Structure 1
Amino acid sequence: MKTLRILLVALAFTVRVYGEVRPEVTQPQPVVGVPIIQPAAAKLQRTFAGRLGPHEPIYFIYGPDTPAAKFQFSFKYKILRFGEATAQRIPSTLQFAFSQRSIWDITGNSSPFYDTSYMPELFYESLAPMPVQSGGFTWLGYQAGYKHESNGRDGPVSRSLNTLFLQPVFSLGMLEGWHMIVAPRLYTYIGGLGDNNDLKDYRGYGQLRLIVGKTNGPSLMYTGIVGQHGDHLTSQFDLTVPVRTHLFDFETFLLVQYFDGYGESLLSYREKSEAIRAGFSLVR
Structure 2
Amino acid sequence: MPSFKQLTLKASLAALLIAPTALVQAAATDADVEQCVIEKLKEVNANTLVSQIRAECKIEVKQPQNDPTQGAFSQRIISENASKYNSHVITPHRMNYILPVSITDNRNTEVYRDAAPQWSDNIEDHESKYQLSLKVPLNGGDLFTEGDGLYFGMTLNSWWQVYSENISKPFRETNYLPEVFYITGLDWHPMGGNTGLIMGVEHQSNGRSNAFSRSWNRVYLNLLWEKENLLLSLKPWYRLSEDEKEVLEDGTLDPDGDDNPDIMDYMGYFQFGAAYQYENLEFSMGIRQNFATHKGALELGMTFPLWGRLRGYAQYFTGYGESLIDYNHNQQTFGIGIAITDIL
Normalising by structure 1, we get a TM-score of 0.72
Kindly state the Cα deviation for residue 136 of structure 1 after the two structures are TM-superposed.
Answer: 4.9
Matching residue within 93, 105, 108 for 2:164: 108
Please tell me whether residue 274 in structure 1 is matched to residue 338 in structure 2: no
Is residue 2:228 matched to residue 1:189?
no
Match of 1:60 among 92, 98, 102: 98
| Percentage of pairs with the same residue | 24
Shift of 1:259: 0.7
Q: Distance in 2 between matches of 1:212 and 1:114?
A: 32
The alignment covers a number of residue pairs equal to 226
Backbone CA RMSD of aligned residues: 2.7
2:84 aligned residue (36, 40, 50)? 50
Separation in 2, partners of 1:189, 1:221: 26
Instruction: Summarize deviations over 1:237-282 as a string: whole Å, max 9, x none.
Output: 01111333xxxxx221110000111111101211111111100001
- Given the alignment, which residue of 251, 267, 276 partners 1:203? 267
Q: TM-score, normalised by structure 2?
A: 0.60
> Whole-Å Cα distance in 2 between the matches of residues 94 and 43 of structure 1?
23
- In structure 2, the partner of 1:95 is 151
Instruction: Report the counterpart of residue 139 of structure 1 in structure 2.
Output: 194
Contact kept? 2:215, 2:259, Cα under 8 Å? no
- 1:219 is matched with 282
**SS of residue matched to 1:156:** helix
Partner Cα separation in structure 2 for residue 67 and residue 270 of structure 1: 20
- Cα gap change, 1:116/1:128 in structure 2, threshold over 3 Å: closer, same or farther? same
2:306 paired residue among 231, 243, 251: 243
Letter in 2 for 1:55: H
What is the alpha-carbon distance in structure 2 between the residues aligned to residue 46 and residue 104 of structure 1? 40
Report the secondary structure of 1:233's partner residue. Answer: strand
The Cα offsets for residues 145-200 of structure 1, whole Å up to 9 and x where unpaired, read as: 1000000011111000000000011113xx2xxx3210110100013271311101
CA contact (8 A) 1:209 1:224 kept: yes
Report the secondary structure of 2:327's partner residue: coil
Find the residue that maps to 1:56 and give its secondary structure: coil
Kindly tell me: are residues 159 and 45 of structure 1, through their superposed partners in 2, closer, same or farther at Cα, counting changes over 3 Å?
farther
| Alpha-carbon offset, residue 82 of structure 1 | 5.0
Contact 1:171 1:182 in 2 (8 A): yes
Q: Which moved more, 1:216-225 or 1:153-162?
A: 216-225
CA drift at 1:84: 8.0
Counterpart CA distance in 2 for 1:257 and 1:46 is 42
User: d(CA) in 2 for partners of 1:59 and 1:46?
Assistant: 32
Shift of 1:230: 4.7
State whether residues 202 and 228 of structure 1, in contact with CA within 8 Å, keep that contact through their aligned partners in structure 2.
no
SS of match in other structure, 2:266 = helix
Structure 2: distance between partners of 1:181 and 1:254 = 20
Q: Indicate if the aligned counterparts of 2:304 and 2:311 stay in contact, CA closer than 8 A.
A: yes
Specify whether residues 237 and 46 from structure 1 end up closer, same or farther in structure 2 by C-alpha distance, changes over 3 A only: farther
Contact persistence 1:203–1:228 (CA under 8 A): no
3-state SS of paired residue (2:302) = strand
Cα separation, partners in 2 of 1:46 and 1:76, compared to 1, 3 Å: farther
